[in-house]
Chain A
Amino acid sequence: MAKEKLNIFESTCVPLPLENVDTDQIIPARFLSSTSREGFGNNLFRDWRFDQEGRAVQDFILNNRKYSGKILVAGKNFGCGSSREHAVWAVYDYGFRVVISSFFADIFRNNALNNGLLPLILPDDEVKGLIALVTAAPETIVKISVQERKVEIPSSGKSFTFEINPYKQECLIHGLDDIDYLINMRSRIADYEKKRGGLG
């Protein structure tokens, strides 16, 4: 099923200078009891965003009105822990389209790409520099082109290229889906089964 396309856009950023942000922080397990993919954004970073009485924690970044945008910039190893795709749904549903970090946990990265959320990897020093920059200047615009694999920060004159698997790059740009790709391969998969024999 087609996803929302993601190619060229610009946005301000939300800095989250924490490392090893795990999926239990992104969306705690007690909010996983849903049978749909929608609505998880309300509980994104729930226990950092709200106290136990449900009041907004004032010094958490998402509650600071100075910071907003479609790009989340986070410390290394973002999305470690559980395989719950609900973490990606929560990040996406909240309004982010890109997460920048110096590396992502494998399952989170796959889940993100399967939902049209770009896990964008930059060198650790550059991520730290970007966090410092947008923390000090929340109005900083970051431009991203998936087609050109490029990140630009006009105000500082910096630009970087990022790596992305060409297949996944195409999927993001055109809003394509791995499942459609695989469904079209069903007869080839059945041939593989025959050749191999005796499965299950």
Chain B
Amino acid sequence: MLETGRGNGRAIHETFLELLKREFLNMNDETFLNEPVEVIALFKAGHHPCQPVRFKRPNGKEVSVTELGLRHPLPNGLKTVHAFDVTDGGTDYRLIFDSERLTWRLTMEADHYE
């Protein structure tokens, strides 16, 4: 018997509980988000052809990127999105660029390593 793995309420509920458990019980130092963000990015020639420079979060906070740590593609079926791991010198962030829709999302923030 086959069934698609999407859109099942119970599975989503269990996934949410698992994420909560990871977040609080195991003292995860990353916060996983899914925020649409406005990004100023530099497109240029070279080994790193796209570099986010600055982004604005829905709460109005603006972040200046001081370093692009790593950019790597994330395949999602036939579609590819690009993960940009960046920092502002105090916090690490992950931005996801959907090259098909031309949208950016902030999906991770990690700032309490100390």
**Do A and B make up one complex?**
no
Tell me the B residues contacting A by CB distance below 8 Å: none
